[in-house]
Amino acid sequence: MSEKYDVVVIGSGPAGYVAAIRAAQLGLKTACIEKWQNAEGKGVNGGTCLNVGCIPSKALLDSSHKYHEAHASFNKHGIAVGALEMDVSTMIARKEKIVSQLTGGIAGLFKANGVTALFGTGKLLAGKQVEYTDLKGKTQVLDADNVILATGSTPIDIPVAAVNGDTIIDSTGALELTEVPKRLGVIGAGVIGLELGSVWGRLGSDVVLLEALEDFLAMMDQQIAKDAKKIFTKQGLDIRLGCRVVGSEVNGKEVVVTYKNSDGEEQKETFDILIVCVGRRPFTEGLLAPDSGVQLDERGFVFVDDYCSTNAPGVWAVGDVVRGPMLAHKGSEEGVMVAERIAGQKTQMNYDIIPNVIYTHPEIAAVGLTEEQVKNSGEPYNVGIFPFAASGRAMAADENDGMVKIIANAETDRILGCHIVGPSAADLVQQVAIAMEFGSSAEDLGMTVFGHPTLSEAVHEAALAANGHAIHIANRKRK
């Protein structure tokens, strides 16, 4: 006789484990299946985010930034440092410890909330049945009233630079390097490429990023993107736009990359390590039986409606495996929404207000519409900008690169978007996201009292500037 559950979740990344915990909190008998194994072969929760994504990359970003500060900035503060050395093995060990603590934390949360943790693989069969195969190969069928698919995503491979795990690696391999490569190539200057390039560039690598698109960070507000590119170039990152990789050849311990530049000219570069960061694709291999009733769209994502329900009754899908930005927090909120809808609640999710962050230094963060999107819509708008160079707190911290940009409707003053490149951008943009969730105007933010001296005063001033009322910079003349 098969085991019966109210909810079976396949995948325990940010979307899956949050869905499982919330479902259990609502009194639903819940199981969560995860195939991830650590170096010791033990099943662990957390998916890509905790094991080889968000968390480990941020650990390395923070470690490398501290090294860079000690190397390049401490003297400005009167701090004299002797000979500096970077112990990469210690940095990696610290990263692994953080990962272990957090994945272990999920195990504790599952236990506290009554979620049954199952390690192995899950395949959706017809009639909301799940074929569960444990890590030893034993198979059983689970019956479920509801199934939540949360299998996440995996790096995209490209034939012209096939990953070999040695000289050509993907984002996972870039988190495991045991020494600093002298010459580092990165295919793709998007979020992942910039973050990984920043890690190893701070530690001494000569980093070249080859980006096929002509525009830098095309999905971001282009004024912010251009400012960010200037900052990263000043930091030493060699960002080459309009460069399409057409081939690669491993030559001993080196890899020779052939690419065509923006003029169509063929160029070659030699690297010690090449990281392929051209994006991620939904992971659905082995997930769906032919008669499961679940459809994939033309790009391989599980097809869902606005509430993450698939076309198969009682089957839901959340996170990277469905449409929308591949962001951990987007998946987590979808997990909560689905669990609550299964429990009979009418929970909805506002997809228009999902913050996006790039954890370089300075950080880049955005929420809402870009100026280009608003302009193309024909909606009348105002823009308020405040540079961190005019922020007393930013100057005191020697963090005065970048700006805050707020876009508001010119007639209603409702905030349409906020874009930041600068210190603590990830935290600052969340203030505006909260304001937008409640339909706030730029004037509302401008009338709010902000503590002094704080970086968040830059948000306040940008909101004031949207209506020509900024205090600490000259206001733009309006037409």
Evaluate the CA torsion angle 132, 144, 38, 280 in order and state its sign. positive
Q: What share of the chain is helix, strand, coil (3-state, %, to 5)?
A: 35, 25, 40
The secondary structure of 230-287 as a DSSP string is: HHHHHHT-EEE-S-EEEEEEEETTEEEEEEE-TTS-EEEEEESEEEE-S-EEE--TTT
* The token pair that represents 382 in the structure block: 């105002």
Q: Report which residue type is found at 303.
A: F
User: How far is the CA of 295 from the CAs of 141, 282, 291, 336, in angstroms?
Assistant: 22, 13, 10, 23
CA atoms within 13 A on the CB side of 388: 26
| Greatest alpha-carbon span in the chain | 75
Q: How far apart are CA 180 and CA 188, in angstroms?
A: 20
Catalytic residue among 68, 419, 452, 460: 452
Placement of tokens 């210190």 in the chain? 423
Is residue 452 part of the annotated active site? The answer reads: yes
Q: Decide: helix, strand or coil at residue 167.
A: coil
CA atoms within 13 A on the CB side of 233: 10
Total residues found in the chain within this entry: 479
Residues 6+ apart with CB under 8 A from 324: 330, 351, 354
Placement of tokens 């065509």 in the chain? 260
* The token pair that represents 447 in the structure block: 């009338």
Residue of 334, 314, 312 whose CA lies nearest to 322: 334
Catalytic residues: 452
